[in-house]
Homo-oligomer: A and B are copies of this chain.
Amino acid sequence: MDLELALRVCEAALKQAAREGALISVAVVDAGGHLVTFQRMEGARLAGPVLAPGKAYTSVAHGRPTADLAELARPGGELYGLAGDRFVCFGGGVPLWADYGEGERVMGGVGVSGGTIAQDVACAEAAASVWHTR
Protein backbone atom coordinates (compact mmCIF):
# COMPACT_ATOMS: atom_id res chain seq x y z
CA MET A 1 0.00 0.00 0.00
CA ASP A 2 2.04 2.95 -1.20
CA LEU A 3 1.09 6.52 -0.38
CA GLU A 4 0.19 7.49 -3.94
CA LEU A 5 -2.37 4.72 -4.26
CA ALA A 6 -3.68 5.41 -0.76
CA LEU A 7 -4.25 9.05 -1.71
CA ARG A 8 -6.25 7.94 -4.77
CA VAL A 9 -8.31 5.61 -2.58
CA CYS A 10 -8.88 8.55 -0.24
CA GLU A 11 -9.84 10.87 -3.05
CA ALA A 12 -12.52 8.46 -4.26
CA ALA A 13 -14.10 8.49 -0.80
CA LEU A 14 -14.10 12.29 -0.73
CA LYS A 15 -15.68 12.49 -4.21
CA GLN A 16 -18.41 10.10 -3.17
CA ALA A 17 -18.97 12.18 -0.03
CA ALA A 18 -19.43 15.28 -2.20
CA ARG A 19 -22.03 13.38 -4.24
CA GLU A 20 -23.76 12.27 -1.02
CA GLY A 21 -23.62 15.75 0.48
CA ALA A 22 -21.81 14.30 3.49
CA LEU A 23 -18.89 15.73 5.46
CA ILE A 24 -16.51 12.89 6.20
CA SER A 25 -13.15 11.77 7.49
CA VAL A 26 -11.41 8.99 5.60
CA ALA A 27 -8.50 6.78 6.64
CA VAL A 28 -6.43 4.27 4.69
CA VAL A 29 -4.35 1.71 6.58
CA ASP A 30 -1.83 -0.90 5.46
CA ALA A 31 -1.82 -4.68 5.95
CA GLY A 32 -0.73 -4.11 9.56
CA GLY A 33 -3.66 -1.80 10.23
CA HIS A 34 -1.33 1.20 10.53
CA LEU A 35 -2.32 4.57 9.10
CA VAL A 36 -1.03 5.46 5.63
CA THR A 37 -3.19 8.50 5.03
CA PHE A 38 -6.05 10.38 6.62
CA GLN A 39 -8.12 13.33 5.45
CA ARG A 40 -10.90 15.22 7.23
CA MET A 41 -13.18 17.54 5.27
CA GLU A 42 -13.78 21.07 6.54
CA GLY A 43 -16.70 20.93 8.96
CA ALA A 44 -16.61 17.15 9.44
CA ARG A 45 -17.20 15.93 12.98
CA LEU A 46 -14.38 15.50 15.47
CA ALA A 47 -15.35 11.87 15.94
CA GLY A 48 -13.83 11.25 12.50
CA PRO A 49 -10.17 11.19 13.59
CA VAL A 50 -11.16 8.50 16.09
CA LEU A 51 -13.66 6.45 14.11
CA ALA A 52 -12.30 6.48 10.53
CA PRO A 53 -8.89 4.98 11.47
CA GLY A 54 -10.74 2.69 13.89
CA LYS A 55 -12.99 1.33 11.17
CA ALA A 56 -10.09 0.88 8.75
CA TYR A 57 -8.07 -0.99 11.38
CA THR A 58 -11.04 -3.11 12.40
CA SER A 59 -11.76 -4.15 8.81
CA VAL A 60 -8.15 -5.32 8.47
CA ALA A 61 -8.02 -6.98 11.88
CA HIS A 62 -11.13 -9.05 11.18
CA GLY A 63 -10.77 -9.37 7.42
CA ARG A 64 -14.27 -8.19 6.64
CA PRO A 65 -16.34 -5.04 6.33
CA THR A 66 -17.18 -3.53 9.70
CA ALA A 67 -20.84 -3.56 8.63
CA ASP A 68 -20.70 -7.37 8.80
CA LEU A 69 -19.47 -7.17 12.39
CA ALA A 70 -22.46 -5.11 13.48
CA GLU A 71 -24.82 -8.08 13.70
CA LEU A 72 -22.22 -10.47 15.05
CA ALA A 73 -21.29 -8.07 17.86
CA ARG A 74 -24.84 -7.58 19.12
CA PRO A 75 -26.25 -9.32 22.19
CA GLY A 76 -26.98 -12.87 21.07
CA GLY A 77 -24.49 -12.57 18.22
CA GLU A 78 -21.43 -14.74 17.81
CA LEU A 79 -19.00 -11.96 18.69
CA TYR A 80 -20.95 -10.24 21.43
CA GLY A 81 -18.53 -8.09 23.45
CA LEU A 82 -16.27 -7.32 20.51
CA ALA A 83 -17.54 -3.77 20.05
CA GLY A 84 -15.67 -1.23 22.11
CA ASP A 85 -12.90 1.30 21.97
CA ARG A 86 -10.56 -1.00 20.06
CA PHE A 87 -12.84 -2.43 17.39
CA VAL A 88 -15.41 -0.22 15.69
CA CYS A 89 -18.28 -2.52 14.76
CA PHE A 90 -20.58 -0.52 12.54
CA GLY A 91 -20.50 0.18 8.84
CA GLY A 92 -17.87 2.30 7.09
CA GLY A 93 -14.77 0.10 7.20
CA VAL A 94 -13.85 -2.09 4.21
CA PRO A 95 -10.81 -4.35 3.74
CA LEU A 96 -8.69 -4.10 0.62
CA TRP A 97 -7.93 -7.54 -0.84
CA ALA A 98 -5.36 -8.95 -3.18
CA ASP A 99 -5.42 -12.30 -4.89
CA TYR A 100 -2.25 -14.29 -4.23
CA GLY A 101 -3.06 -17.38 -6.26
CA GLU A 102 -3.56 -19.60 -3.22
CA GLY A 103 -6.16 -17.26 -1.82
CA GLU A 104 -6.99 -13.72 -0.99
CA ARG A 105 -4.98 -11.67 1.40
CA VAL A 106 -5.92 -8.44 3.18
CA MET A 107 -3.53 -5.74 1.98
CA GLY A 108 -5.09 -2.83 3.81
CA GLY A 109 -8.34 -1.16 4.70
CA VAL A 110 -10.30 2.02 4.32
CA GLY A 111 -12.53 3.62 6.96
CA VAL A 112 -15.03 6.43 6.60
CA SER A 113 -16.88 8.36 9.32
CA GLY A 114 -19.00 11.49 9.40
CA GLY A 115 -22.12 10.77 7.36
CA THR A 116 -24.96 8.35 8.00
CA ILE A 117 -23.86 4.74 8.11
CA ALA A 118 -25.24 4.27 4.58
CA GLN A 119 -23.22 7.25 3.36
CA ASP A 120 -20.07 6.10 5.15
CA VAL A 121 -20.43 2.64 3.59
CA ALA A 122 -21.01 4.11 0.12
CA CYS A 123 -17.88 6.26 0.45
CA ALA A 124 -15.77 3.37 1.73
CA GLU A 125 -16.94 1.12 -1.10
CA ALA A 126 -16.23 3.80 -3.69
CA ALA A 127 -12.75 4.09 -2.22
CA ALA A 128 -12.22 0.33 -2.20
CA SER A 129 -13.25 0.05 -5.85
CA VAL A 130 -10.29 2.27 -6.78
CA TRP A 131 -8.05 -0.19 -5.04
CA HIS A 132 -9.58 -3.24 -6.67
CA THR A 133 -9.29 -1.76 -10.17
CA ARG A 134 -5.78 -0.39 -9.61
Interface residues of A in 53-111 (CB under 8 A from B): 60-63, 70, 73-76, 78-90, 103, 105
Residues of A in contact (CB 8 Å), total: 48
Are B78 and A90 neighbours in the complex by a CB distance under 8 Å? Answer: yes
Give the distance in Å from the alpha carbon of A121 to the alpha carbon of B79 in the complex. 13
**Could you give, for residues 16-56 of chain A, a 1 whenever the CB lies within 8 Å of some chain B CB and a 0 otherwise?**
00000000000000111111111111110111011000000
Contact A78:B32 (CB < 8 A) given known A37-B40, A42-B2: no
Measured CB to CB, the nearest residue on chain B to A39 is B37
Q: Is the interface of A mostly helix, strand, loop or mixed?
A: loop
Identify which of B34, B43, B75 contacts A74 (C-beta below 8 A). B75
Contact A83:B85 (CB < 8 A) given known A46-B34, A47-B61, A49-B35: no
Interface residues of A in 3-23 (CB under 8 A from B): 3, 7
Measured CB to CB, the nearest residue on chain B to A103 is B43
Give the distance in Å from the alpha carbon of A56 to the alpha carbon of B87 in the complex. 19
In the complex, how many angstroms separate the beta carbon of A93 from the nearest chain B beta carbon?
12
Are A79 and B3 neighbours in the complex by a CB distance under 8 Å? Answer: no
Are A3 and B37 neighbours in the complex by a CB distance under 8 Å? Answer: no
